[in-house]
Amino acid sequence: MNNASKTGAAGEEFTAGRMKQKGYRILARNYHTRYGELDIIAASGKYIVFVEVKTRLPGAVSEPETFVTPSKQKKLVKAALLYLQKFPTDLQPRFDVAGVTMDLSGCITGFHYLANAFGGKELF
């Protein structure tokens, strides 16, 4: 596993842990489709939540979550639709973005979680 993969995995693990603390039930992690990977799929209340996790080291040009471009958003929606075709649910889909920053030693130095990220607000 290269350093970028280790960094991404650490950010995803941290995010999943925070989500569990907030009462989310993790349904899947690293779910692969032809449109790309869904980092975390979880359930909370009336929602099935598709979470894109972006992890960055010091010196990044901007906050990690700003890297979820409109093009990336379209791919996430398509990937989520494939997941929902395979695993139908009555839960309302929602797309969240977690931004994790960490130092060079691997310690988490910042965390932002945006619920309904394609037009939502910071949740925790």
Question: 88-120 pLDDT, tens per residue?
Answer: 999 999 999 999 989 888 899 989 899 998 765
Helix H or strand E segment including 54? strand 47-56
Do 38 and 26 touch, CB atoms closer than 8 A?
A: no
> What Å distances lie between residue 97 and 2, 58, 73, 121, CA to CA?
23, 19, 10, 10
The ranges of the chain with pLDDT < 70 are 1-4, 59-66, 119-124
pLDDT of residue 123: 46
Helix H or strand E segment including 20? helix 3-21
State how far the Cα of 117 lies from the Cα of 15, in Å rounded to an integer.
15
pLDDT of residue 68: 81
State how far the Cα of 122 lies from the Cα of 114, in Å rounded to an integer.
4
pLDDT of residue 82: 97
pLDDT of residue 124: 44
pLDDT of residue 77: 92
